[in-house]
Structure 1
């Protein structure tokens, strides 16, 4: 689980040894084994970082079945024993461990599950579900031990921002709409009726 100190090739010093051996081989035609200098190597990722990644990602990710869906007709599940290990992993990056998803392996696993499903993008264009969409829905489900279902929102454009100045999560006051309703025998009078309020996220 944890990295261990060990020996590694000293690249800078080994370059000279390899160059000398190559020249000797060209001059004599005989090849000999090259002894290259080594140096001590220490793990680039700390034990504490390994513990953090285990607790925040690895353990919950492999805790049970996880499902990704757009609707009841388009759903796929992955299990720790048969499929999750095929596409999720962690890799070191600047002394930290980060999640890694093998997109090709994941795409092969869910296959044609989402064929025919279109997502309305921010531009208004409707495009098919991509592996990035699947990963986006999968990530929070993998990190949870309670809600193991990730839903791909096929119409995210509906989640429009609140009006300027309105606190997030508050209802935007309903606008009033005026309609003209004819009244027999009397002048046309304007009448108002409130528009049904819509809650914004």
Structure 2
């Protein structure tokens, strides 16, 4: 099997996109990033893709009549490039069955909490507000629910006394930038097997 062909979806700074691009560049990830998909033309991740020489499909959701309409266009772009795996890396849009169905078991997301705790927006703020002593990050398959797909890997991040959302976010993002390329590499090596709700990772 050749290198895994990735499409990375992101909406903001693109630090996880950068971590994946760097891992590819440094030989730690047997993959190529075929496309960045971004719903915000002014997002810094678009500039990162340009610098890395990676093509971008950038769109404004309000230019389309529905989510399904722009996802149909995205699906055509993915198929044209033979994309094997979609990596949602800070993509702030709900995904519809237009993409979930053809890519089920081939689409992963990184979420800044230990799912199933604190799904949805602002998982970091939710964890702080609740007063948990540990939180973390989760890489999971996307199944169309809200951060509800089968879990592949998790990392614990301790909540320290006096943490603010910004200080906790810094450590969470650092952990994400390590875990996401590692999990993507496990998938590239064929070491992740999806069986119902369970994703088994072999050594």
TM value normalised by structure 1: 0.22
TM value normalised by structure 2: 0.22
Higher relative contact order (CA 8 A, sep 6+): 2
Structure with the higher fraction of residues in helix conformation: 2
